[in-house]
Amino acid sequence: MGEHIGFIGLGRMGSAMAGRLLDAGHTLTVFDVSEPAVAAFVARGAARAASPKEVADAAEVVIASLPSPAIVQETALGASGAIHGAMVRTFIDVSTTGPAVAGILAKALGEKGIVSLDAPVSGGVKGAREGTVAVMVGGPKASFDALSPILSVIGKLFYMGEAPGSGQTMKLVNNLLSLTAIAITAEGMAMGQKAGLDPKLMIDVLNVSTGSNSATRDKWPRSVLPRSFDYGFATGLSLKDVRLCLEEAEAMGVPMVVGSGVRQLLSITYQLYGPDSDFTEMAKVVEGWAGLDPKPAG
């Protein structure tokens, strides 16, 4: 028999993860600011809550998948936040919020007897649907062990350590490397194309050479070469993640020379194409600077 789980945040990633929990036989009580998102889950048998507190009144385990650190903090600790729920015993944040917010949540929730786990995920919407995302967990080991059967429905588990924010730190490092791969691939590809090389052939060569990376293997074939720019992750969220990473690194005394360049390119992409543009549109920015014809392929 499944557990009763509260789920807050039914966006693209959240709805995919919540859907897997339903399919695995768990009972859900859900909340989102989008009524259509909630209605879709109610139609599948989930119970509706009117606030994060109501979710935490109904379930001992509450999972949050939300777009920004400020929203996560308000959802957990605000006036109608999960911290005020009568049933909640564990709050799991699968968002990318950074270790500082993870520490704030752990302290405030802990004072109310609620365990906080930071468990950000990586692998995109497709990975969330298929349950193949990496789940990077920080927090008490005993709680991680107890909740592993639930979290393993979402993806592949990696226990990063007891310290609050351990999972968040790992996620920020991952996202920095992922975004850097897009940025540097955009520059290399623009150079080759301006010299007259065929972009598809370039990708074929890179993917059997030492320049291979996540952007050449996946993002260019899927979203850049076809000119669809629809990989599925927003420029605004990407910029948020790399800013968080650089802020944390600066506080720790870790220089991020390359990361600073990636943040700047993302910021320019944000200004040119907007927060809801796809992060692969970084390639269009570099192509434009290089004077390449931006017309669609084919």
* Catalytic sites, residue numbers: 171
- The string of DSSP codes covering 116-154 is EEE--EESHHHHHHHT-EEEEEES-HHHHHHHHHHHHHH
Structure-token pair, residue 129: 């649907």
What are the structure tokens assigned to 206, written together? 């890179």
Residue by residue, DSSP assigns 189-230 as HHHHHHTT--HHHHHHHHTTSTT--HIIIIIIIIIITTS---
The one-letter amino acid code at 209 reads S
Q: Which one, of 153, 123, 213, 136, lies nearest residue 21 by Cα?
A: 153
- The type of residue at 65 is S
Strand-strand pairing, 27-31 and 4-8: parallel
Separation of alpha carbons 238 and 226, rounded Å: 22
- Which letter does DSSP use for residue 281 in this model? G
